[in-house]
């Protein structure tokens, strides 16, 4: 029995995300992925950007097992073993200014606003000067949900976790800038998602 978890959406969006990241990633260094999920993303990223070392993480033990199962099936030598991490909690072992990039995919609509802001604050602290923050996911546009699918998904999330749900794109930009990061890109992506890219001065 395999520990691998397969996510259709991860398979669909890994290439578009990597295409945007390719414009901003450095030539070398360490990259942290927060909430890596199944592990499909980090394997794809590590294969495409072989000059970088990738540190996958997740808060859930079964996701960490899945990531490590994907890692074991690749010949990539630039993926560190996945570690269990609650990114809401800063620590000297990771939020310490040592990463050239931090990647966060499909997280913020599933959690509360205070948790979102805590992760943004810790991600900013994890970045070295000149480091890049990449955020991908579904967001409101100017306070509005712009598709029927997004409206349904947001309603389902809020029915399970009332304080969670889609965040507004303008709020996200404000919160990122309040962590002293400079916005570099806000890009429309497939399936009505957004890519937000910011840099640490």
Query: Helix/strand/coil (H, E, C) string of 117-177?
Result: HHHHHHHHHHEEEEEEEEEEECCEECCECCCHHHHHHHHHHHHHCCCCCCCEHHHHHHHHH
Looking at the predicted structure, is the pLDDT value of residue 200 above 60?
yes
pLDDT score at 62: 97
**pLDDT tens digits, residue range 134-173?**
999 999 999 999 999 999 999 999 999 999 999 999 999 9
Indicate if the pLDDT at residue 190 is higher than 90.
yes
What pLDDT, in 10s, does the model give residues 33-67? 999 999 999 999 999 999 999 999 999 999 999 99
What is residue 2's predicted lDDT score, i.e. its pLDDT? 78
Q: How far apart are CA 102 and CA 55, in angstroms?
A: 9
User: 1 falls in which pLDDT band (50, 70, 90)?
Assistant: very low
Sign of dihedral through CA atoms 133, 144, 118, 56?
negative
CA distance 146 to 141: 7
What are the tens digits of pLDDT across the range 103-133? Answer: 999 999 999 999 999 999 999 999 999 999 9
Please state the domain extents for the chain: 8-199
Distance CA 190, CA 200 (A): 26
CA distances from 126 to 79, 165, 192 (A): 18, 25, 29
The CATH class of 8-199 is: alpha beta
Cβ-proximal residues to 84 (8 Å cutoff; 6+ apart), any chain? 57, 58, 59, 60, 61, 64
- Tell me what the mean pLDDT of segment 186-198 comes to: 97
């Amino acid at each position: 029995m395999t520990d691998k978890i397969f996510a259709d959406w991860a398979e669909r969006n890994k290439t578009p995300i990597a295409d945007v990241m390719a414009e901003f990633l450095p030539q070398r260094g360490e990259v942290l992925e927060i909430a890596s999920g199944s592990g499909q993303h980090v394997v794809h990223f590590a294969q495409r950007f072989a000059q970088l070392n990738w540190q996958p993480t997740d808060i859930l033990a079964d996701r960490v097992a899945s990531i490590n199962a994907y890692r074991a099936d690749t010949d990539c030598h630039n993926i560190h073993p996945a570690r269990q991490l609650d990114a809401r909690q800063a620590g000297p072992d990771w939020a310490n200014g040592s990463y050239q990039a931090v990647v966060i995919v499909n997280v913020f609509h599933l959690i509360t606003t205070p948790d979102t802001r805590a992760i943004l604050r810790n991600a900013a602290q994890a970045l070295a000067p000149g480091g890049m923050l990449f955020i991908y996911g579904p967001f409101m546009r100017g306070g509005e949900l712009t598709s029927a699918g997004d409206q349904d998904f947001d309603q389902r999330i809020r029915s399970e976790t009332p304080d969670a749900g889609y965040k507004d794109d303008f709020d996200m930009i404000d919160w990122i800038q309040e962590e002293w990061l400079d916005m570099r890109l806000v890009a429309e992506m497939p399936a009505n998602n957004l890519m937000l890219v910011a840099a640490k001065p």
